[in-house]
């Protein structure tokens, strides 16, 4: 396999001049450029992509740092990022902190300080400790921040209103039911706090009470199933369940169906963040949910980041995406 030294020898120039030509630097005359390119063609020389990226300061790679990668709700977001990144000539790398905010801060610091990527999409909550805050504040890498408290970050931002979606769901259920139970995952996250706020606002408006029914369920269908079963085994059965996401809602409905509960006659069930895909279990009714345009959000985040990489001096941008309540059989009497 030919090396840069072989190219320099064939062209009759120095290795430094070949390197300048490959990396599109100034100082290479027309005659030298012709001889270097001819040598490259003759020897079928392939420049080392990593070495070239380090010289140019570009990797054509972006990182997407998230709390989790396994939530079905996030799959359309990931797809949206991929579509835009690939079409723009960038390769996305998806990184998971596995729900650990301190680990998220460490990953962020490593990628931002070592120049491993050209920019990063940062999704979800940030660690509020002084050490982590310093990591984020001192960053100079192009950023697009999605659904995170990014006031102290120099990055473009995208937000969506989970509070309003939860408020709409709760009002819908409280019209003819009093005992509405909110299933949550990751109690300390900003998204969960936002949903609790919207749910509590609806409870206060409709029933003029402050008491809320909140259960920690987890994200998955199995967790929704097991949580609902635990309640039923204790003789507890709310009139309605607002599940943390659609997968959890399907688990809730399976547990209720196995125990002979009719949906929605006995218990209404709703999801959250769904994309309209229904369960393959034909026993289950179509699910009422709050749709969030996760694929569009992923696309927008990638577009904002790639533009920021190309034009770092542009004013910072803020985007807001609203949620849409989609009513289906699972909550309609």
pLDDT, residue 172, reads 92
Indicate whether 191 pLDDT > 70. yes
- Vertex 165 angle, CA 256 and 240, to 5°: 25
Q: Are residues 100 and 139 in the same domain?
A: yes
Q: How many CA atoms within 13 Å lie on the side-chain side of 27?
A: 10
Q: Are residues 125 and 224 in the same domain?
A: no
Q: Are residues 288 and 166 in the same domain?
A: yes
Instruction: Out of 16, 35, 56, pick the residue that ends a domain.
Output: 56
pTM: 0.67
Indicate whether 333 pLDDT > 50. yes
Q: Are residues 44 and 81 in the same domain?
A: no
Q: Are residues 98 and 184 in the same domain?
A: no
Q: Are residues 87 and 32 in the same domain?
A: no
Q: Are residues 145 and 259 in the same domain?
A: no
Residue 325's beta-bridge partner residues? 290
Question: What is the domain extent for residue 49?
Answer: 4-56
Q: Are residues 97 and 151 in the same domain?
A: yes
Between 57-66, 231-240, 311-320, the lowest mean confidence (pLDDT) is in: 57-66
Q: Are residues 152 and 209 in the same domain?
A: no
Q: 11 by DSSP, 3-state: which?
A: helix
The rounded distance, in Å, linking the Cα atoms of 302 and 84 is 6
Which residue in this structure is represented by tokens 């490959």? 22
Average pLDDT, the chain: 84
pLDDT, residue 269, reads 95
Which element (helix H / strand E) includes 190?
helix 190-207
Q: Are residues 169 and 275 in the same domain?
A: yes
pLDDT in tens, 281-303: 667 898 999 988 889 999 999 99
pLDDT, residue 56, reads 47
The DSSP code sequence of 64-109 is EEES-S--GGGHHHHHHHHHHHHHTT-EEEEEE-TT-HHHHHHHHH
Q: 322 by DSSP, 3-state: which?
A: coil
Q: Are residues 155 and 298 in the same domain?
A: yes
Instruction: Out of 40, 56, 72, pick the residue that ends a domain.
Output: 56
Tell me how many domains the chain contains. Answer: 3
Give the CATH number, domain containing residue 311: 3.40.50.2300
285, 264 in Cβ contact below 8 A? Answer: yes
pLDDT, residue 100, reads 80
Which element (helix H / strand E) includes 39?
helix 30-43
pLDDT category at 10 given cuts 50, 70, 90 is confident
The rounded distance, in Å, linking the Cα atoms of 263 and 121 is 40
Q: Are residues 131 and 48 in the same domain?
A: no
248, 220 in Cβ contact below 8 A? Answer: yes
pLDDT in tens, 124-174: 877 666 666 666 666 778 889 898 765 667 788 898 888 889 999 999 999
pLDDT, residue 208, reads 66
Residue length of the chain: 333
CB atoms within 10 A of CB 199: 27
Contacts of 114 (CB under 8 A, 6+ apart): none
The rounded distance, in Å, linking the Cα atoms of 228 and 251 is 8
The rounded distance, in Å, linking the Cα atoms of 91 and 61 is 5
Which residue in this structure is represented by tokens 């740092």? 65
pLDDT in tens, 48-102: 654 545 444 567 899 999 888 877 778 889 999 999 999 988 999 999 888 787 8
Instruction: Out of 56, 78, 94, pick the residue that ends a domain.
Output: 56
Give the CATH number, domain containing residue 17: 1.10.260.40
Q: 180 by DSSP, 3-state: which?
A: strand
Angle between helices 75-87 and 294-310 in degrees, nearest 10: 30
């Amino acid at each position: 396999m030919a090396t840069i030294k072989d190219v320099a020898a064939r062209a009759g120039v120095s290795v430094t001049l070949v390197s300048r030509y490959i990396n599109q630097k100034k100082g290479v005359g027309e005659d030298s450029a012709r001889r270097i390119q001819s040598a490259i063609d003759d020897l079928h020389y392939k420049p080392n992509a990593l070495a070239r990226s380090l010289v140019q300061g570009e990797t054509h790679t972006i990182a997407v740092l998230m709390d989790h990668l396994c939530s079905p709700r996030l799959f359309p977001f990931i797809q949206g990022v991929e579509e835009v990144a690939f079409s723009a000539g960038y390769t996305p790398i998806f990184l998971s902190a596995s729900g650990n905010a301190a680990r998220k801060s460490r990953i962020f610091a490593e990628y931002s300080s070592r120049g491993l990527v050209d920019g990063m999409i940062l999704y979800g909550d940030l660690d509020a400790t002084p050490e982590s805050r310093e990591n984020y504040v001192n960053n100079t890498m192009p950023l697009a921040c999605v659904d995170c408290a990014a006031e102290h970050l120099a990055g473009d931002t995208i937000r969506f209103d989970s509070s309003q979606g939860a408020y709409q769901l709760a009002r819908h259920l409280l019209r003819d039911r009093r005992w509405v139970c909110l299933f949550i995952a990751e109690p300390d996250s900003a998204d969960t706090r936002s949903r609790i706020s919207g749910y509590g606002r609806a409870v206060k408006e409709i029933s003029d009470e402050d008491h809320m029914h909140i259960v920690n369920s987890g994200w998955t269908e199995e967790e929704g199933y097991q949580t609902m079963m635990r309640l039923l085994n204790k003789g507890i059965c709310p009139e309605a369940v607002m599940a943390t996401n659609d997968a959890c809602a399907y688990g809730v409905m399976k547990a209720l169906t196995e125990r002979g509960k009719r949906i929605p006659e006995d218990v209404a069930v709703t999801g959250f963040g769904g994309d309209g895909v229904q369960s393959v279990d034909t026993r289950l009714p179509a699910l009422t949910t709050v749709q969030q345009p996760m694929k569009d959000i992923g696309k927008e985040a990638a577009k904002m980041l790639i533009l920021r990489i190309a034009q770092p001096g542009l004013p910072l941008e803020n985007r807001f995406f609203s949620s849409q309540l989609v009513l289906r059989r699972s909550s309609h009497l």
